Each structure stands twice: as C-alpha cells, then as structure tokens.
C-alpha cells in the first residue's frame, strides 16, 4: 500500500484540531451562558458541558502536538502521566458522560412516574454512577502505568486484554442501561411535557440517546473482538482499542495509515457523540418550569397552556386512576 502523503496527514491534523477547538469554544460559551442564566453549578447541564469541554481541550492539545510532524510526538512518549492524560483520559471522560446521561434520564423517568421513588433511591443512583466512573478511571490509569513500565511482552498483552475486558464491558452495560431508559421514556406520554419544561423534548432525548448507545456500544464490542482475536504477527492499524494506539507508540513514530485511522476513529466514535451530548446540555433560558417534582406525577403543571393544549395529556391509562383519586380527594 503506498504511503499516505504528508500534506494529507497534515490536513487531517489541522482539521481535527479545528473541530476539537470549535467544540471547546462552544462548550466554554455555553458554560458562561449557564452562569449568566443562574443555573446551579452542580446540575446536569454544567457537568455535561464541563465533560465535553475537558474532552475537547485534551484532544485539541493532542493534535496540536502533531502539527509540526503528523507522525511524531516524542515528548509525550517519554512521560507516562502526560501520555496517559492526552491519549487515554479522554476515554474516561466519555464514560463519565455516558454515566451522566444514564443518571439524567433515570431521574426524568422517576420524577414523571413517582418523585417519591426517586428521592428514595437518589443516593444509590448517585453513588453508583460515581463508583462506576471511578472504577473505569482506576483500571484505565493502572493499566496505562503498567504498560509504560518494563514488562514482558506476554504480560503486556494480558494487561491490554484485562483493560479492554473491564472498560469495554462497563461501556456495554451502561449503553444497555441507557437503551432501557430510552425505551421507557418513549412509552411515557407525560415525559415530553416534563422535558419541554427543561428546554428539550422526548424526540431530542431519543436521538441523543440512540446515537450515544449505537456509537459507544459498537466501539466497545469491536474493541473486545479486536483485542481477543487479532493475531499478534499480522500488523494492522485496526487492531487497537480505546487507547491502544498509545500502547503502540513506544516507538518514535507510527505509520501514516495508523495515524489516519486513529483520526477517523476519534471523529466517528468520540467527536460525534461528544458533540451530541454538548448540544443536548446546551444553555437555554427556560421560560417554563414545572412546580416541585412531586407534582409531575399528579399532572399539575405551572402553565395553563400545557394544561389545555397538550393533546397527549390523557394518552396513558395509568395516569387516569391517579388523577381521579386526586380529584376525589378534593
């Protein structure tokens, strides 16, 4: 196969740098808008935007290091932690954003069905998301440090396999959980009213959730298969996982083919889902807010427009008994 021309490699580097920098600036602007709108700093929107901001910043710095030579980043290869920070830690940010989406949609489902149930399990949901994200981070960081140490080739392969097995399995499990949330959300007629009060809709939620589930789960499944069955004696730019390209870069250079594939993988399986998440959590000046979360279950909304104009108000048969019971209590 003929070598990829250097101008093509440089053009791809500039393109990826510009795309990541644009996403960084967009997320940065959205965070400032949230601050101006008085959004809570530890709510879902700031956290989602901050994760996207960090991912875009790290990838922008990484591709900027390749601008001088698209196949060389020698200072990064000699220092384990900076190498992990730029190559591997963005994968941890992607997993954290997946956990955040799971938590957000689980909260929406609980609040629409029964807010008291969410208050009951809120601490468990938060702690579970934090623990899962920390587990992913610890496994990723530990294996990355071992790979940069003086380890035998057989142990190195087992380290890569264990990291892929744990991390990609976590991605698949969280993607399945998010898919279940999407299915439940699609069946709840009153969920659209709640989401519209938050500046989004069920259609937007389903679109973002479907894209994230499809891309993350497909990449995780591919990584597991590639790490498990790819032959060691057949060189290929496609037989690496989330950050296995960084594992190969103990040498001073990588091939042009590997670098191009690396850029395509980052665009399709990282930049696209991260952009969807950032757009979903973008800043919006909300003119419509629901009354306390417990009233979502009783269908008492703060806007008369929703009360009279929502044609799907009584679509769910499960809602009618609760409404009748509430009116009988009056």
pLDDT at site 189: 81
Q: What is the pLDDT of residues 56-108, one digit of tens each?
A: 999 999 888 877 655 555 455 567 788 888 888 999 999 999 999 999 999 99
pLDDT at site 245: 47
Please choose, from the candidates 226, 299, 325, the residue with its C-alpha nearest in 3D space to the C-alpha of residue 269.
226
* 107's tokens: 């909260």
pLDDT at site 160: 79
Return the SS3 of 290: coil
Please choose, from the candidates 212, 225, 224, 227, the residue with its C-alpha nearest in 3D space to the C-alpha of residue 268.
212
Please, what is the average pLDDT of the chain? 77
Backbone angles phi and psi of 17, in degrees to 5: -60, -45
pLDDT at 249 over 60: no
- Residue 2 has what DSSP assignment? P
Q: What residues contact 84, with CB distance under 8 A and at least 6 apart?
A: 140, 141, 144, 145, 148, 246
Question: What is the b/e burial string over 164-202, where b = at least 16 CB atoms within 10 angstroms of the residue's CB?
Answer: bebbbebbbebbebbbebbebbeebbbbbbbbbbbbbeb
* 36's tokens: 């101006």
Please choose, from the candidates 17, 12, 97, 92, the residue with its C-alpha nearest in 3D space to the C-alpha of residue 56.
17
* 89's tokens: 């830690």
Mean pLDDT of 30-51: 90
Q: What is the pLDDT of residues 157-211, one digit of tens each?
A: 788 788 888 999 999 999 999 999 999 998 888 888 888 888 888 999 999 999 9
pLDDT at site 302: 41
Number of Cβ within 10 Å of residue 30's Cβ equals 23
| Burial environment of residue 133 by CB neighbours within 10 A (0 to 12, 13 to 18, 19 or more) | buried
Mean pLDDT of 140-156: 76
């Amino acid at each position: 196969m003929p070598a990829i021309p250097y101008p093509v490699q440089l053009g791809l580097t500039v393109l990826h740098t510009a795309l990541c920098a644009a996403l960084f600036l967009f997320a940065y602007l959205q965070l400032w808008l949230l601050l101006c709108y008085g959004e809570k700093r530890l709510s879902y929107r700031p956290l989602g935007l901050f994760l996207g901001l960090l991912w875009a910043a790290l990838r922008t710095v990484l591709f900027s290091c390749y601008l001088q030579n698209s196949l060389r980043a020698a200072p990064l290869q000699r220092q384990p932690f900076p190498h992990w920070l730029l190559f591997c830690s963005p994968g941890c940010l992607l997993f954290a954003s997946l956990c955040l989406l799971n938590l957000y949609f689980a909260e929406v489902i609980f609040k629409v069905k029964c807010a008291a149930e969410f208050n009951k399990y809120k601490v468990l949901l938060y702690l579970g998301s934090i623990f899962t994200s920390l587990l992913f981070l610890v496994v990723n960081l530990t294996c990355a440090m071992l790979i940069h140490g003086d380890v035998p080739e057989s142990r190195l392969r087992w380290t890569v396999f264990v990291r892929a097995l744990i991390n990609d399995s976590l991605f698949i499990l969280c993607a399945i959980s998010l898919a279940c949330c999407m299915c439940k959300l699609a069946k709840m007629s009153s969920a659209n009213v709640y989401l519209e009060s938050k500046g989004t809709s069920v259609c937007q939620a389903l679109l973002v959730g479907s894209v994230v589930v499809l891309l993350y789960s497909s990449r995780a499944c591919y990584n597991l298969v590639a790490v498990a069955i790819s032959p060691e004696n057949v060189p290929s730019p496609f037989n690496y996982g989330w950050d296995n390209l960084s594992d190969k870069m103990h040498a001073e250079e990588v091939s042009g083919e590997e670098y191009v594939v690396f850029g395509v993988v980052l665009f399709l399986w990282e930049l696209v889902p991260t952009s969807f998440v950032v757009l979903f959590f973008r800043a919006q000046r909300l003119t419509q807010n629901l009354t306390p979360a417990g009233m979502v279950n009783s269908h008492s909304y703060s806007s008369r427009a929703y009360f009279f104009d929502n044609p799907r108000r009584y679509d769910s048969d499960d809602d009618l008994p609760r409404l009748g019971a509430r009116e009988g209590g009056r």
